[in-house]
Amino acid sequence: MNMMTGVSPWERLIRPDRVHGSLYTDPDIFEAELKNIWYRTWVYVGHESEVPNANDYVVKSIGPQSVIMTRDEQGKVNLLLNRCSHRGNQVCSFERGSARSFTCPFHSWTFANDGRLVGYAFPDGYEGQDKAQLALGRVTRVESYRGFVFGSFAADGPTLREHLGGAAETIDRLVRTSPEGEVEITAGFLKHRVKANWKFILENECDGYHPAFVHTSIFGVADSMIGKLYGGASTALTRDYGNGHTEIDLRPEFRKRDAPMSWFGTSEERLPDYTARMKAAYGDTAAREIMIDGTPHVMIFPNLFIAEIQMFVIQPLGVDDSVQHVTALQFKGAPDLNRRLRQQTMGSVGPAGFLLADDSEMYERCHRGVLARNPEWIFLGRGEKRQRQDELGFTVGHVTDEVPSRGIWTHYRNLMEPI
C-alpha cells in the first residue's frame, strides 16, 4: 500500500480486464513473486510414485531452489533442501537414486534421508554441539493429494485441500482413468527451457483461443481432432476454480461424441485390455462414462498442468528464464493405454514437440514483445460480457474466452497485495 496515495501498486498494475506488461519483465516483481508465491503457497513438487521404495530419492525444485524428495526408512516422503547446513554445499548431485544418507563432499557431514545430521568428520571440534540444530533445511509443510506431493514454505496458511478447492475434483477425475485409481509418473521428464517469463506459460495452458492459430501447422497435416474442440462452434468451456486454478472442460464435446476413448483419438476395440479392466473395476456404466469424459485439462496454480495425456511442471529460474518439465501420464493397471500415452506425448511436447515447439515460440515472442512500452497493457477482456456461473458457482465461459487469465490474475493480486 502506498501511504501517500492510498492506492496499492498492484491495483495500478492489475485491472479486471487488463494487466500491465511490466508484470512479466520487471526483475523486482519476479523477486516479489518468489517471496509471495513460490516460497509461500502450495507448489507441486513431485509424485509419490517417483520414490516407490524406502530410501528412494529424486531431485526436484521449488522455483530456483533444489529440493530432494526422499522416502525415508519409515516410508515417509520428505522434501529436503539441497544445501548442506555447514557451509552450503549441495549435498546431492545426482537426479535420482537410492540412498540411506547423503554425505556432503566438502567436509563430509552426513545426513540421513529424513534430513537429520548423523555425523561430521573429526567430531572433537564440535564438542557440546547439538546435532539436532544442524539438520538439512526442509520445506515447512508437505502434503499430498492422490499421490501428488506439494510443499509450502509457510508455517501456516490454508491446507492443501483448501488450496485445491474445487480443482481437487479434476484430480479425482484424473485418477479414475486408471482401473486401480492411481497415476504413476515413471516415464522420465523432458526439460524444455524458454527465454520467457513463467506467467506466459501459466496463462497459455488454459488459453483456448490460440490452438486454432498457433497449432494450425500440425492440425493441418495430422488430421487431428483437436482443432474442432477449440473452434468458434465448440461447446467446451473455460472455468475459473478460484485460487488461481483454471480448466478447459472438454467434456461437453466428448459427451456429444458419445464414444468411449474418443477423447484420446482411439476406441474400446483398439484398447481391449484397458476396456476390460475398466469395466471390471468400475462396472459397465461408470466405466463408459469415465472413458467418454476423458482426463482433465487443468492448470493447478502455480505450476502443475495436467494436459489430458501429459503432465507439465513449470519452473521459474529468472524473470525471463523458465523450464517446462514434462512427462507422459501413466495409469496404474493400464499398460496398453500407457504405451499410447508415451508415444503421443513424445510427438507433441518437449523441445522438438509438434505442439510445444510452437507454444514456446509464442512465449518467447510475447516476452520480447512486452518489452515495448506502448500499449502498456495486455488486454484480457475476451468473453467478459458472456461469462456466467456454473451449477457449482464457478465462473465459466466459451472455450476461447479469457476466463482463465482473469481468474489467475485475481488470485495473483491477492497473493501479492500484502507487500
Partner 1 sequence: MLSRESSATLMSAITAFLYREARLQDEHQYEAWEKLWTDDGVYWVPANGADIDPERQMSIIYDNRSRIALRVRQLMTGKHFTQTPQSNLRRLISNIELMDEQPDDGDIAVASNSLIFESSLRDDTLWAARNEYRLRYVDGELRMASKKVILVNNDKAIYTLSFLV
Interface with Fe ion, residue 359, by CB under 5 A: yes
Scanning residues 296 to 335, which ones bind partner 1 (CB under 8 A)? 323, 325-328
What SS3 state is found at 410? helix
| Cell 517471496 sits on residue | 35
Give me the phi and psi of 404, to 5 degrees please: -60, -45
Cα–Cα distance between 341 and 24 in angstroms, integer?
33
* Pair 80, 70: CB distance under 8 Å: yes
Cell numbers standing for residue 414 = 491477492
* Pair 177, 187: CB distance under 8 Å: no
Q: Smaller CB distance to Fe ion: residue 211 or 294?
A: 211
100 binds, among partner 1, Fe ion, ligand FES, none (CB under 5 to 8 A by kind): none
Cα–Cα distance between 240 and 254 in angstroms, integer?
20
Interface with partner 1, residue 2, by CB under 8 A: no
21 binds, among ligand FES, Fe ion, partner 1, none (CB under 5 to 8 A by kind): none
What Cα–Cα distance (Å) separates residue 81 from each residue in 30, 35, 75? 21, 16, 19
| Cell 497485495 sits on residue | 417
Scanning residues 37 to 96, which ones bind ligand FES (CB under 6 A)? 84, 86-87, 89
Scanning residues 134 to 193, which ones bind partner 1 (CB under 8 A)? 186-193
87 binds, among Fe ion, ligand FES, partner 1, none (CB under 5 to 8 A by kind): ligand FES
Give me the phi and psi of 277, to 5 degrees please: -70, -40
Which of 93, 159, 217, 414 touches partner 1 (CB under 8 A)? 217
Map residues 340-359 to x or -, x wherever contact with partner 1 holds by CB under 8 A: --x--xxx--xxx-x--xx-
Cα–Cα distance between 104 and 334 in angstroms, integer?
41
195 binds, among Fe ion, ligand FES, partner 1, none (CB under 5 to 8 A by kind): partner 1
Number of residues near partner 1 (by CB under 8 A):
40
Scanning residues 68 to 107, which ones bind partner 1 (CB under 8 A)? 95
Q: Smaller CB distance to ligand FES: residue 82 or 243?
A: 82
Q: Smaller CB distance to Fe ion: residue 70 or 204?
A: 204
Shortest separation between residue 359's beta carbon and partner 1, angstroms:
9
- Whole-number CA gyration radius for the chain: 23
86 binds, among partner 1, Fe ion, ligand FES, none (CB under 5 to 8 A by kind): ligand FES
Scanning residues 171 to 210, which ones bind Fe ion (CB under 5 A)? none
Report the run of H or E that residue 77 belongs to, with start and end. Answer: strand 77-81
Scanning residues 102 to 161, which ones bind ligand FES (CB under 6 A)? 104, 106-109
Measured over the CA atoms of residue 33, residue 35, residue 40 and residue 44, the dihedral's sign is positive
184-194 burial: b if 16+ Cβ within 10 Å, else e:
bbebebbebeb
168 binds, among partner 1, Fe ion, ligand FES, none (CB under 5 to 8 A by kind): none
Give me the phi and psi of 41, to 5 degrees please: -85, 175
What SS3 state is found at 220? helix
Give me the phi and psi of 251, to 5 degrees please: -60, -40
Closest CA to 150 of 350, 258, 28, 301: 301
Number of residues near ligand FES (by CB under 6 A):
9
Q: Smaller CB distance to partner 1: residue 40 or 210?
A: 210
Which residues of the chain form contacts with Fe ion (CB under 5 A)? 359
Provide the binding-site residues for ligand FES, judged by CB under 6 A.
84, 86-87, 89, 104, 106-109
The contact set with partner 1 (CB under 8 A) reads 95, 186-195, 214, 216-218, 220-222, 323, 325-328, 339, 342, 345-347, 350-352, 354, 357-358, 360-362, 364-365, 368
